[in-house]
């Protein structure tokens, strides 16, 4: 920060060496404690959602064992869509609530975590499809947390040079949940039959007849554990998270008061104000104080803290700028195919292999390469779970090692546009994996090193594209906001757009995959989504990175100056 030139030092501001900006690292990101709390809140959600995938089919089957497998499979699709459909209807409203001075960001997150904990426990104790649908929908209705978390990260980390790493936290924690969640769910589901020596009849904890509630609700245990994760994350937020809404920052927060008391008296840590910043000591030699500077050295007189001025709120009709619409279009198109990939991937790996000995449907007899082929891999659930773990491990590795360096070198927009161009290529090549020779003949599951090399290659392309595209679109949605007063609303709308399209994507993909199998073109659904991904590329090339404050209202300049003055580093003695 340059000091103003005084009469005795007219050349102070001439040829002053500019400090060299240090490269951004994970260690240099400010306010890591607050980001860690948001990370814990975020990781608890994908961990619980992906945990359901390991046993949802079997839990729905247990409601009515007489139902055919095709009906249960359809119920699984409806169950998965009920959560995102409910989020689509309410995420925008939660975004508006987060922007409200009466509610704020923190309360919305707490409500979302508690609501999800109740819904996940209720799902575990459900004994009918209707009850399970109710609790899954309830969880979606009460949870608009992703958009609010993105809003808080933007307000906690306001310097753009740190945003690429800060916004990476949410996708990174999602990948951790993808790895841990299904494993946890599979280990804890139906414990009486899985661990009869512990919970079954005559066991250590089961007594003569076994643990009665585990026999009555065999899939309640993993849901209770997930609910405990959510409630623990909720407690951490209540005790440790600072409100970031500018009108609620100075409100009394009894949760933080208790949290500071616990930190001081139980953990013996000094309480520090998370809002404070201190400058790095200057390496410049001290300069004598000139007479013209004496008036600036008066001792600070404590002033009565004035309540924060209320920033004028941008009317809802003015939110829809050209860049906002284009950003939401690009975000929605990408969410449509990225959110569908896992479902389509599992169906493809589970589909029966093509057997030349079995007659093909009449409509598929005349099909031939390069587009006329059919069949999947017939892989069992454990191997499908292995492919899911591959997605998570590749994602975390790329996010930690490759993404920060490439983003710093080439910039946000360039990395985003290159990465979204990889999606169509991935979807075009994916169905050709079924043509890789296998060591085992059909109808046995496919096996062999070439198969796993092909699977890993496709997953690498998809995860590489996702690693760069997802954090970038989050930042672009954040920065397309035309005014700070509607930041929560913008992220809420963004989550609604994403949830709505992720609701319909798996349904359409499953329908197209079934048609492809019947006509002998297993790649039909993949290539339709490749075309849709091309449309997403075109939309992505029209998006530009905004400033987050493109529309100025009366009083904005004064408030911006006041906030900049408040955040300016102060020299400590």
Per-residue HEC secondary structure of 258-297 comes to: HHHHHHHHCCCCCCCCCCCCECCCCCCCCCCCCHHHHHHH
Domain-located, residue 468: yes
Residue 225: pLDDT over 80? yes
Residue 198: pLDDT over 60? yes
Q: Is residue 258 located within the same domain as residue 323?
A: no
pLDDT of residue 306: 54
The C-alpha atoms of residue 223 and residue 449 are separated, in whole angstroms, by: 36
Confidence of residue 224 (pLDDT cuts 50, 70, 90): very high
Q: Is residue 470 located within the same domain as residue 365?
A: yes
284 Cβ partners below 8 Å, 6+ apart? none
Q: Is residue 385 located within the same domain as residue 497?
A: yes
Would you call the peptide bond into 392 cis, given omega within 30 degrees of 0 as the criterion?
no
pLDDT of residue 132: 92
Residue 240: pLDDT over 80? yes
Give residue for tokens 């905004």: 546
The answer to whether 483 and 553 are in contact (CB under 8 A) is yes
CATH of the domain at 86: 1.20.1250.20
Count of residues in the chain = 573
The answer to whether 203 and 193 are in contact (CB under 8 A) is no
pLDDT of residue 333: 93
Using DSSP, state whether 379 is helix, strand or coil.
coil
Q: Which two tokens stand for residue 432?
A: 């050709």
Domain-located, residue 152: yes
State percent of the chain over pLDDT 90.
Answer: 16
Q: What is the pLDDT of residues 274-295, one digit of tens each?
A: 444 433 444 444 444 343 333 3
Q: What is the pLDDT of residues 199-220, one digit of tens each?
A: 878 777 777 777 888 888 888 9
The 3-state DSSP composition of the chain as helix, strand, coil percent (nearest 5) reads 65, 0, 35
Residue range of the domain that includes 50 = 32-265
The answer to whether 155 and 20 are in contact (CB under 8 A) is no
Q: Is residue 327 located within the same domain as residue 221?
A: no
The C-alpha atoms of residue 335 and residue 473 are separated, in whole angstroms, by: 10
Confidence of residue 369 (pLDDT cuts 50, 70, 90): low
Q: Of 222, 237, 265, which one is at a domain's C-terminal end? A: 265
Would you call the peptide bond into 294 cis, given omega within 30 degrees of 0 as the criterion?
no
The answer to whether 499 and 88 are in contact (CB under 8 A) is yes
Q: Is residue 400 located within the same domain as residue 504?
A: yes
Q: What is the pLDDT of residues 468-514, one digit of tens each?
A: 888 888 888 888 888 877 887 888 888 788 878 887 887 788 778 87
The C-alpha atoms of residue 59 and residue 495 are separated, in whole angstroms, by: 29
Q: What is the pLDDT of residues 379-430, one digit of tens each?
A: 765 676 667 667 777 877 887 788 878 887 888 889 899 999 999 999 999 9
pLDDT of residue 359: 57
The answer to whether 180 and 393 are in contact (CB under 8 A) is no
The C-alpha atoms of residue 414 and residue 399 are separated, in whole angstroms, by: 17
Domain-located, residue 151: yes
pLDDT of residue 388: 67
- Which CA distances in Å does 377 have to 132, 352, 353, 441? 31, 6, 5, 11
Q: Is residue 232 located within the same domain as residue 352?
A: no
Q: Is residue 163 located within the same domain as residue 249?
A: yes
Structural domain count, the chain? 2
Domain-located, residue 60: yes
Per-residue HEC secondary structure of 5-61 comes to: CECCECCCCCCCCCCCCCCCCCCCCCCHHHHHHHHHHHHHHHHHHHHHHHCHHHHHH
Q: Is residue 327 located within the same domain as residue 403?
A: yes
296, 297, 298, 301: CA torsion to nearest 10: 90
- Summarize the confidence of residues 96-111 as an average pLDDT: 88
550 Cβ partners below 8 Å, 6+ apart? 321, 323, 482, 483
Q: Of 239, 265, 291, which one is at a domain's C-terminal end? A: 265
> Which helix H or strand E contains 457, and what residues bound it?
helix 449-479
Burial environment of residue 354 by CB neighbours within 10 A (0 to 12, 13 to 18, 19 or more): buried
Supply the Cα-derived Rg of the chain in whole angstroms. 27
The answer to whether 442 and 134 are in contact (CB under 8 A) is no
Q: Is residue 257 located within the same domain as residue 336?
A: no
pLDDT of residue 272: 46
Residue 374: pLDDT over 60? yes
Domain-located, residue 570: no
The more confident residue out of 443 and 112 is 112
**Helix (H) and strand (E) counts for the chain?**
22, 0
Q: Is residue 443 located within the same domain as residue 349?
A: yes
Q: Is residue 245 located within the same domain as residue 329?
A: no
Domain-located, residue 311: no
Q: What is the pLDDT of residues 49-86, one digit of tens each?
A: 777 876 777 788 888 888 776 577 677 777 877 888 88
Q: Which two tokens stand for residue 39?
A: 């990370």
Domain-located, residue 301: no
Q: 0.75 cut: is pTM over it?
A: no
Q: What is the pLDDT of residues 10-38, one digit of tens each?
A: 444 444 555 555 666 767 788 888 888 88
End-to-end CA distance of the chain: 17
**Phi/psi-derived region of residue 289, left when phi > 0, alpha when psi is between -120 and 50, beta in every other case:** beta
pLDDT of residue 21: 59
pLDDT of residue 365: 53
* Secondary structure (DSSP) of 167-214: TTHHHHHHHHHHHHHHHHHHHHSSHHHH-HHHHSTTBTTTBTT--HHH
Tell me the backbone φ, ψ of residue 570, rounded to 5 degrees: -110, 140
The mean pLDDT of the chain is 77
| Residue 507: how many other CB atoms lie within 10 Å | 16
- Summarize the confidence of residues 208-234 as an average pLDDT: 88
Of the candidates 77, 198, 202, 54, which has an alpha carbon nearest to the alpha carbon of residue 129? 77
The C-alpha atoms of residue 26 and residue 157 are separated, in whole angstroms, by: 13
Q: Is residue 250 located within the same domain as residue 352?
A: no
Confidence of residue 6 (pLDDT cuts 50, 70, 90): very low
Range with lowest mean pLDDT among 109-113, 118-122, 211-215, 546-550:
546-550
Confidence of residue 536 (pLDDT cuts 50, 70, 90): very high
> Which residues make beta-bridge pairs with 207?
203
449 Cβ partners below 8 Å, 6+ apart? none
| Residue 566: how many other CB atoms lie within 10 Å | 10
Domain-located, residue 11: no
* Secondary structure (DSSP) of 220-253: HHHHHHHHHHHHHHHHHHHHHPPP--TTTTTS--
CA atoms within 13 A on the CB side of 309: 12
């Amino acid at each position: 920060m340059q000091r103003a030139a005084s009469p005795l030092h007219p050349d102070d501001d001439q040829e002053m060496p500019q400090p060299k900006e240090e490269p951004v690292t994970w260690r240099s990101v400010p306010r890591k404690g607050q980001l860690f709390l948001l990370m814990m809140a975020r990781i608890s959600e994908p961990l619980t959602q992906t945990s359901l995938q390991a046993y949802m089919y079997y839990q729905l089957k247990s409601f009515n064992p007489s139902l055919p497998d095709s009906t249960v499979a359809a119920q699984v699709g409806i169950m998965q869509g009920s959560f995102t459909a409910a989020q689509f209807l309410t995420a925008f409203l939660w975004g508006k609530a987060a922007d409200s001075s009466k509610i704020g960001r923190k309360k919305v997150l707490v409500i979302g975590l508690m609501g999800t904990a109740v819904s996940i426990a209720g799902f575990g104790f459900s004994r009918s499809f209707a009850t399970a649908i109710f609790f899954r929908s309830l969880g979606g209705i009460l949870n608009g947390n992703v958009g609010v978390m993105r809003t808080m990260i933007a307000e906690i980390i306001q310097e753009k040079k740190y945003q690429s790493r800060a916004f990476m936290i949410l996708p990174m924690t999602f990948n951790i949940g993808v790895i841990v969640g299904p494993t946890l769910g599979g280990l804890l589901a139906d414990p009486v039959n899985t661990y009869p020596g512990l919970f079954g009849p005559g066991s250590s904890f089961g007594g003569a007849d076994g643990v009665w509630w585990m026999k009555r609700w065999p899939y309640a245990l993993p849901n209770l554990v997930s609910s405990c994760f959510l409630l623990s994350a909720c407690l951490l937020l209540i005790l440790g998270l600072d409100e970031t809404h500018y009108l609620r920052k100075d409100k009394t927060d009894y949760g933080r008061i208790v949290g500071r008391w616990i930190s001081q008296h139980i953990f013996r840590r000094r309480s520090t104000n998370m809002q404070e910043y201190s400058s790095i000591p200057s390496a410049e030699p001290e300069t004598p104080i000139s007479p013209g500077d004496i008036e600036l050295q008066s001792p600070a007189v404590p002033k009565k803290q004035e309540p924060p001025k209320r920033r004028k709120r941008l009317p809802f009709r003015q939110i829809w700028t050209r860049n906002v619409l284009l950003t939401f279009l690009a975000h929605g198109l990408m969410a449509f195919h990225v959110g569908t990939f896992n479902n389509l991937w599992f169906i493809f790996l589970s589909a029966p292999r093509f057997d030349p000995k079995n007659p093909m449907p009449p409509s598929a007899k005349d099909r031939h390469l390069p587009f006329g082929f059919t069949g999947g891999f017939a892989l069992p659930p454990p191997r499908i779970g292995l492919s899911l773990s591959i997605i998570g491990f590749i994602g975390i590795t790329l996010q930690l090692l490759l993404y920060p360096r490439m983003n710093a070198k080439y910039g946000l927009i360039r990395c985003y546009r290159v990465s979204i161009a990889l999606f169509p290529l991935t979807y075009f090549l994916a169905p050709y994996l079924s043509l890789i020779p296998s060591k085992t003949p059909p109808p046995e599951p496919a096996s062999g090193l070439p198969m796993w090399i092909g699977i890993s290659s496709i997953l690498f392309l998809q995860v590489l594209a996702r690693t760069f595209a997802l954090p970038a679109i989050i930042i672009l949605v954040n920065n397309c906001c035309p005014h700070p007063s509607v930041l929560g609303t913008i992220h809420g709308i963004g989550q609604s757009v994403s949830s709505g399209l992720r609701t319909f994507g798996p349904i359409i993909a499953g329908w197209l995959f079934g048609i492809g199998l019947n006509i002998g073109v297993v790649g039909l659904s993949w290539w339709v989504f490749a075309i849709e991904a091309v449309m997403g590329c075109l939309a992505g090339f029209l998006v530009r990175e905004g400033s987050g404050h493109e529309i100025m209202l009366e009083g904005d300049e004064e408030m911006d100056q006041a906030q900049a003055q408040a955040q300016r580093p102060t020299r400590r003695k």
